[in-house]
C-alpha cells in the first residue's frame, strides 16, 4: 500500500467525496483530511492498495488536473 498527498480541494470537501472521486483510479484504503493550518485549503492523505510504481504513475496523471475550479496538486509520500 502507498500514499498520496493531494491538495486543491474546496473547503467543504469530505473524505467520502474524495474517496468517491478517486476510486475510479484504484482501490482507496483510507482518506484522511487535514485542515490544520489553512482550513480553506484542505489536504488529503489518501492510501491506495497499489504498488509504488503504479502510485507514481497515478500521481503524474492527477497532478495539475483541473477540478472544481482549482488545480489538484499531488505529492507522493516516501515509503516507510
Tens-place pLDDT, residues 37-48: 888 999 999 999
Q: How many residues make up the chain in this entry? A: 80
Model pTM score: 0.89
- Summarised one tens digit per residue, pLDDT across range 6-49 is 999 999 999 999 999 999 999 999 999 999 988 899 999 999 99
> 69 - beta bridge partners?
none
Q: Cα–chain-centroid distance for residue 79?
A: 16
Q: What are residue 45's DSSP bridge partners?
A: 5, 32
Domains, in order of start, for the chain: 2-76 (3.30.70.330)
Phi, psi of 49 (to 5 degrees): -90, 75
DSSP one-letter string for 32-76:
EEE-SS-TTS-EEEEEESS-HHHHHHHHHHHTT-EETTEE-EEEE
Amino acid at each position: 500500500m502507498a500514499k498520496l498527498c493531494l491538495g486543491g480541494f474546496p473547503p467543504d470537501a469530505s473524505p467520502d467525496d474524495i474517496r468517491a472521486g478517486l476510486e475510479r483510479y484504484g482501490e482507496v484504503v483510507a482518506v484522511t483530511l487535514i485542515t490544520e493550518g489553512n482550513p480553506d485549503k484542505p489536504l488529503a492523505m489518501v492510501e491506495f492498495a497499489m504498488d509504488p510504481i503504479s502510485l507514481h504513475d497515478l500521481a503524474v496523471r492527477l497532478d495539475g488536473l483541473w477540478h472544481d475550479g482549482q488545480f489538484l496538486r499531488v505529492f507522493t509520500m516516501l515509503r516507510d
